[in-house]
Amino acid sequence: MFERNLSTRAAVAIILSFILVSIIGPHTLNHEDVENWDNLSYWRLNPQGVPPEWYGELVGLPKTEWLQGERQAGAFVFTYDFHYSSSPSDIIFIPNSTGVMRIKIIGPDGREYILWDGYVFGEIHFSKNPSVFVRIAGEKCNVTPDGGNLLFHDAFNVIFSKPTEDCLDHPEFLKGEYKIVVEGAEKEPRIRVLGKSYGLLGTDTVGRDVWTGFIWGMRETIVIAILGSLATVGLALVLGTLSVLSSWVGKIADFVSRLVTVTPVLPVAVSAVVLVAAIDENYVIKASPLAIALIVGILMMGNVSRNVRSMVEEELRKEYVESARALGGSSLWILRKHVSKVLVPYTVYQFALAVPGTIAFITLLGFFNIVPGFNWGTIMSQTIREGATYRLAWWQVVPVGVSIGLLALSFVSLSRRIEEEFLKR
């Protein structure tokens, strides 16, 4: 008994935790990130497809960060604390003015190397300028790598390595404070180091913050799941109950119930969503969450409605029903006053089972590029939507998968408890 109570309390705690996070979490996010989710240029300052920062700390991957600068002797000096086992993927220079500028980096050993010396029109992504690394490799390591080959190497190894002959492929990293000095800038520029880790849940293949998608999508996912499950049990209760009547209403309800039971859910759901949805400028199918919830509710109610019908038929054969009929009670009155008391616990039990199934279903729709609003299906569909080659990145898949698993186990545990109470009665 104690173990059952403990598991029930844990299940309720997990469910309430997800609901609480889905309510509070979105208010902690930058809404510009959400509004620009499909604006690929908005995410250009993020590294692409990198794991979370906490994972990066464990394996020595540099994090993504803005550098703080200060004015010294007419120049702007930015400090970068490098203490990692891998070099950053890029350094981005964002000027607030144009003109001739000289940008150099000074290592902890005092050696300095020129990154840029010329006119600056706009953003500079140093990773896209292989000639800089070829020159620095010659000055620092006495090697002259081919500029084209640098595209397939960590070119920044040359900058953050000790002056050894194999500083490109097998660098010995020189850790400490690096200074990036900008001369000739009228206004303070900004410098962003693109590391190989980012945020709480990393980034996807185009640089979007997975944590933003996960938290913002949680709310709508849970809303659709609850509304869809309510539609499932509500429609099943109505159809299953009415289908036992001998009138034309009962015959129609029975026909619809049987039809939905044998209908293949996934292909019909995809077709139905396409009919009620719209395609935006990015060729993404968008549908109203309420429409998705109703479609899911209708398609998933078949077996539940047949079970409800069987329960109603069994109840109608009992003696107390015959007594009620002898006293003049109509079929609808008997269903409402007596049979409904048996059906309510069962529908609550079915609701607890339907919620995780609905969450898994709408997430699965993401693989078909059907995104009803902004939910966990959005994360699953993003690589398909951008036409990118799918690469299994655990920080994109695991959070959603574990969350669905926890919610499923919690609702199943809760439904078993409801079932036990139902059987006692």
Q: What is the mean pLDDT of residues 116-120?
A: 93
**pLDDT for residue 327 is more than 70:** no
Asked if residue 359 and residue 286 are part of one domain, the reply reads yes
| Residue 176 in this model has a pLDDT that exceeds 90 | yes
Query: Does the pTM of the predicted model rise above 0.85?
Result: no
Last residue of a domain, one of 194, 215, 239: 194
Examine the domain organization and report whether 308 and 383 are in the same domain.
Answer: yes
Residue 419 reports pLDDT greater than 80: no
Q: Is the pLDDT of residue 145 over 50?
A: yes
Residues 205-246 pLDDT 10s = 889 999 999 999 898 888 888 888 899 888 888 888 888 777
- Does position 386 have pLDDT exceeding 60, yes or no? no
The pLDDT of residue 389: 44
Q: What is the DSSP string of 91-153?
A: EEEE-SS-EEEEEEEE-TTS-EEEEEEEEE-S-EEGGG-HHHHHHHHHHHHS----TTGGGGS
User: Which CATH number does the domain housing residue 111 bear?
Assistant: 2.60.120
Of residues 180 and 150, more confidently modeled: 180
- Mean pLDDT throughout 31-43? 88
Examine the fold and report which residue of 145, 172, 194 is the final residue of a domain before the chain moves on: 194
- pLDDT over 70 (residue 406): yes
Residues 162 and 284 in one domain: no
Together in a domain, 363 and 382: yes
* pLDDT at site 88: 95
Round the average pLDDT of the chain to a whole number and report it: 83
Tens of pLDDT along 287-309?
A: 777 888 888 888 888 888 888 88
Q: Are residues 384 and 240 in the same domain?
A: yes
Measure the CA–CA gap between 319 and 322, rounded to whole angstroms. 5
Residue predicted with more confidence, 385 or 203:
203
The verdict on residue 384 lying in a domain is yes
Cα–Cα distances in Å, from 398 out to 46, 48, 208, 211, 405? 21, 18, 16, 12, 10
- Evaluate whether residue 38 is within a structural domain: no
Number of independent structural domains in the chain: 2
Checking if the pLDDT of 14 tops 80, the result is yes
**Higher local confidence (pLDDT), 388 or 18:** 18
Same domain, 124 and 234: no
Is 52 inside a domain boundary? Answer: no
Q: Do 290 and 370 lie in a common domain?
A: yes
- Could you tell me the two tokens for 33? 């990130």
Per-residue pLDDT at 388 exceeds 50: no
pLDDT (average), residues 317-329: 67
394 and 369, same domain (yes or no): yes
- Does the structure show a pLDDT above 90 at 166? no
Instruction: Give the model confidence (pLDDT) of 334-354 as tens digits.
Output: 666 666 677 777 888 888 888
Residue 129: domain span: 61-194
Same-domain status, 279 and 408:
yes
CA atoms of 369 and 5, how far apart (whole Å): 41
Q: Which of 168, 194, 220 is the last residue of a domain?
A: 194
Overall average pLDDT of the 257-286 stretch: 76
pLDDT at 2: 42
| 328 and 290 inside one domain | yes
What percent of the chain has a predicted confidence (pLDDT) above 70? 84
Question: Does some domain include residue 48?
Answer: no
Q: Are residues 237 and 344 in the same domain?
A: yes
- Residue 57 — pLDDT band, cuts 50, 70, 90? very high
Percent of the chain at pLDDT > 90 equals: 31
Counting Cβ atoms within 10 Å, is residue 191 exposed (0-12), middle (13-18) or buried (19+)?
buried
Query: Based on the domain organization, do 369 and 229 belong to the same domain?
Result: yes
